[in-house]
Amino acid sequence: MDSKKIIIAGLGPGAPEDMTPAVLNAVREADVVVGYKYYFRFVKPYLKEGCVCVDTGMKRERERAEHALRLAMEGKTVVVISSGDAGIYGMAPLLYEMIHGRTTALASSSSSVSAVSSPSPSAALASFSSSVSVPSPFGEVSVEVLPGISAFQKAASLLGAPIGHDLCIISLSDLMTPWSLIEKRIRAAAIGDFVTAIYNPKSQGRYWQLYRLREIFLLEGRSPETPVGIVRQAGRPEQEVHLTTLGTLDPEQVDMFCVLIIGNSQSYVASGRFITPRGYYRDEEQSDGRGKIGQNIMHESFRTILSEMQHPEVPRWRLWPLLHAIHTTVDFDMERCLWMDDRATEILYAMVAAGTLRHIVTDVTMAASGIRKGALDRLGVEVHCYINDPRSRQMADERGITRSQACMQLAAEEYPEALYVVGNAPTALFEICDLVRKGKMRPAGIIAAPVGFVHVCESKHAVKTLTQIPKIIVEGRKGGSNLAATLCNAILTFDDAEQLQPGRDV
């Protein structure tokens, strides 16, 4: 190796198989290895006889860099080691700063060393070569950086493929960066939908920062169901790998030895693996003739809706129908007026999946036509609408009731335990309530979304009294058949809610 040379080497996580051949060769030829003592155990098996290990202690990086420079000027081949990649929160930036006069550390550490002056433009250009000029008394030192596997890369490989798309890395340590700036970066990462790796997430003195990061991500629209990987001591014997979600992330289970990876809006977990798709299948899906273009549009729309919602941090059983409702109406007031019983979506989907809910009754054909045929065929569910049934007209004329009421009476005789979907007629809701109270029907569930000005609100209040029946209600005067149908579709596709993958049956 050349004299007066410093090699800044990234050791990777620490396992021998994760060190590059270039790093191992450098370590084998080193006269001196400078670093934090914890990392010497990773390189000692490769050191030549007589190689000296110099430890400057924890949090004494500048002193370590100064010492390496002096040893290099004595003609020794010096290898400065960092864990992971030396250029990512490691020693490489510090040594280059020091060489180019961006710090006064050399002047303050020894009376025999003068301050390094600011570089001229020509000196600045020298940083792009393997040799940089250092003012007297150091002369010229050649600096080389050897990359290593960073902690976020090792963590990602253990989790699956979570960094398959645009990503950023944020350190939560505010020792050298003001928290106000860190928070700006966190918010930018959340808004930009970046996969985000988190270094230095927590220590004994920094316990609240990860709580704040989670809060910001949720406030900026990242779904509570977003996968989060936690890897502790990546690549070392103490290694631990965990998967959770942004909504259930417990910062108390994290320490300074952990790296976190937070997924983007497309990330999902399959077979225990954290995956962020790159988009290789998009062109195929858009060109196949099976409605994939519509599905992709829904994906983009749902991401937009999540980013603009005021309160996206709601349970999945509420979020899924809410996303469908806003997508159909472009009305964010749905956050306020969409009401449902606890876990209603989940309960109704469970009935469909178990085969105990096989029939849906709508008040009008428009609502029936809006329920996805693909989902119905896939799940073996039938939709019934009696509005054009001659019996409804005859019954309405004979009894002096509306055709919607007659429809519900006929449906109660044939499908008393169906899911009832009402998007037009408040009289249909009143009739359902009356029939339930008389014991003539027991719906599996009710979607109440009639629209209008006369008796609409009252009919929805009446439905709320049916406390034993799962219900989804669009409160107030808003509603409509298209909205009723999309809420029904949200129930039929609830198994897609965990990964936020809408539009499978469009």
- Exposure letters 9-33 (e unless 16+ CB within 10 A, then b): bbbbbbbeebbbeebbebbeebbbb
Is 455 an annotated catalytic residue? Answer: no
Phi, psi (degrees; rounded to nearest 5) at 438? -85, 0
The total of other beta-carbon atoms located within 10 Å of residue 126's CB is 18
Q: 270: left (phi > 0), else alpha (psi -120 to 50), else beta? A: beta
The total of other beta-carbon atoms located within 10 Å of residue 138's CB is 18
From the candidates 67, 311, 327, 461, which is the catalytic residue?
A: 327
User: How would you classify the pairing of strands 195-199 and 258-262?
Assistant: antiparallel
Tell me the C-alpha distance between 475 and 346, whole Å.
20
- At residue 141, the 3 state secondary structure works out as strand
Residue 486 amino acid letter: T
Phi, psi (degrees; rounded to nearest 5) at 433? -60, -45
Tell me the C-alpha distance between 134 and 123, whole Å.
9
Closest-CA residue to 82 (of 61, 96, 66): 61
Q: How many residues does the chain have?
A: 506
The total of other beta-carbon atoms located within 10 Å of residue 129's CB is 10
Tell me the C-alpha distance between 386 and 406, whole Å.
8
User: Catalytic residue numbers?
Assistant: 327
